[in-house]
Structure 1
């Protein structure tokens, strides 16, 4: 999955486009579209393709029934379009996260946060192709960050630790979601499910593989294969890893609580 790194354009123009404050030029053809409509058309194309490779300003313009050059009066570049697309779909997460008090505890809040992001990635796989080391500074991106931080606000962590916790959960969810999406793509590309693939390779492997030479790998691999019916189960990895993260964070929170008691 190729990674895109937007952010090379004019920051001031991009911020204005993200926040809806950029004024269209007074000269030229009458503007019949909005930035929101352009972003929606691009998102629909990317969702259909489940990829960003073939997304272009020309394809978006064709989907909207306008000329490619006219599209640049709404959005300056493909990089800017990617940032607006990402900020747009983040609105879904803000809505699904709900109010901060909806969760019974900070642990359940992190579980909810993880689930919302997991489902976002599965709905919009292309989101994982956009490197967010420099996230789009749009209203939905900031609202999402604010809402996620409230999950761990007031539990005894420093501000830097709060940010680190959110990053830690995101890193886990993104990594496993990427594996899940790639696994789905492999099935589509090969036309074989994991079970079908294993049945095709097992005879050849049995001729060269000696379980006594790799006793632990043989035992554990067989147990995992029987449990997952595949070589890997992203859903299990997601749930297992998330619970281990939360358990570790609970130790830190308890230590801070006892230190201030």
Structure 2
């Protein structure tokens, strides 16, 4: 079941998302036994192990050893908790900041973003259960946007954000599929290749060659010899290369840059 973020009260969620901005450390006194960070970390741990539905306020409170009502002192509701969890995971990717060292070529920088995003969904497959149509506007979300935009400085301003959103949509779509695969493997212990192999009877008993000539031609040519996991990986690499080729061509045509159009 998909959960939708973005329905929370901005007056409540934004201070929680940006709780570390200009945070002051108390000079004296014992640190609090519980804080928002601990609540979010517990929610992520439960979701990683058992799925998003396991990150209920009651289960998070039990994991932390406190009463459920105590949890509401730190996070107003489960809706806010999920948004905080999502933004925390988004920010955990090792994407270089403005002052950090990064790959020299813009395409390698995008590849780094893609690799980190796919790895994130594999590690936290419950992300697939949360719609990001209206994302939590926290530091994790903005760090992603800033990084992708920073790789496209060679594009005209008018098309820069469009290119960034296109890249993000493509990469996130593929990453979510990886997360769904990870969820299915965890739930049933079965890989995609195993699932397809157990349905081999389809081709012998039900497949109509006359109605599927393109598939039949490709089958005889060995086009389906690779398993679905390998095909998905190849398709992602193929699509990303074509997308970046198009962006590079547009940059070359509009700015005159040829070999390395982006900073």
Give the corresponding residue for 2:167: 169
Distance 1:135 1:251 in 2: 31
Q: Which has more helix, going by share of residues?
A: 1
For 1:233-248, what aligned pairs fall within 5 Å after superposition? 233-248=231-246
- Alpha-carbon deviation of 1:71? 0.2
- Alpha-carbon deviation of 1:207? 2.9
Distance 1:192 1:39 in 2: 30
Give the corresponding residue for 2:84: 84
Structural RMSD (CA) = 2.7
Q: If the length of structure 2 is used for normalisation, what is the TM-score?
A: 0.82
Deviations 1:19-59 (A, max 9, x none): 22799xxxxxx96201001000001111112x313321111
Give the corresponding residue for 1:114: 114
For 1:188-199, what aligned pairs fall within 5 Å after superposition? 188-189=186-187, 191-199=189-197
Question: Does the 8 A contact of 2:46 with 2:54 survive in 1?
Answer: no
Question: Does the 8 A contact of 2:121 with 2:178 survive in 1?
Answer: no
Moved over 6 A (4+): none
Question: Does the 8 A contact of 2:125 with 2:183 survive in 1?
Answer: no
Distance 1:139 1:231, change over 3 A: closer
- Alpha-carbon deviation of 1:14? 0.9
Structure 1 gap segments, 5+ residues each: 24-29
Structure 2 gap segments, 5+ residues each: 24-30, 258-263
Give the corresponding residue for 2:124: 124
- Greater shift in the superposed pair: 76-85 or 180-189: 180-189
Distance 1:173 1:230 in 2: 18
Deviations 1:229-252 (A, max 9, x none): 238732122211111110111111
- Alpha-carbon deviation of 1:180? 2.6
